[in-house]
Amino acid sequence: MNHKHSAQATDAFELATAAMNKAYAPYSGFKVGAVIEAANGKLYSGCNVENAAYPQGCCAEASAISAMIMDGESSISAITVIGAGDSLITPCGGCRQRIREFAADDTPIHLCSPAGVEKTLTLGDLLPMSFGPEHIESEK
């Protein structure tokens, strides 16, 4: 791993942890933080935000994607996810599809514990044979 990538991974982990700590999860009590690394090299963080109409709310990954889109980016290079508790978490099914809109099958998804990145999977591992924008474009 080159130094730049290592520094970027460390920054993403720290931002994801900070985002998790800011999550608003009074109903589930389960806080999640996520960081999107976009093709432009910028990092976009997000946290889950619940509301009284639970479980309707916003996932951390969706929040981070929204921040990326608001900055004019539309291509995900990597994702870092951390959740409260002892188990590693992955993006939920809905977020896997949201990620798929802006990422390729080989996009790495880094799963973290409080100690750092514990496991890396690809989007293709988490959402095999997925349906994406190119399927709709080929129908036009």
Contact 49, 28 (CB under 8 A): no
Catalytic site residue from 61, 118, 134, 139: 61
Contact 62, 46 (CB under 8 A): yes
Burial status of residue 6 (CB atoms within 10 A of its CB: 0-12, 13-18, 19 or more) = exposed
DSSP assigned state of 123: H
- The reported pLDDT for the residue numbered 60 is 98
- The reported pLDDT for the residue numbered 85 is 85
| pTM (predicted TM-score) | 0.90
Span 3-137 CATH architecture: 3-Layer(aba) Sandwich (3.40)
Instruction: Quote the Cα angle for 42-73-30, to 5°.
Output: 70
What's the token pair of residue 31?
A: 């806080």
- The reported pLDDT for the residue numbered 44 is 98
Tens of pLDDT along the chain (140 residues) come to 444 456 788 899 999 999 999 999 999 999 999 999 999 999 999 999 999 998 889 999 999 999 999 999 999 999 999 999 889 999 999 999 999 999 999 999 999 999 999 999 999 999 998 888 888 876 55
What's the token pair of residue 130?
A: 């997925």
**Which stretches within the chain are classed as H helix?**
3-22, 60-70, 93-100, 123-126, 133-137
- The reported pLDDT for the residue numbered 63 is 98
Contact 60, 46 (CB under 8 A): yes
- The reported pLDDT for the residue numbered 137 is 75
Note if 61 is an active site residue: yes
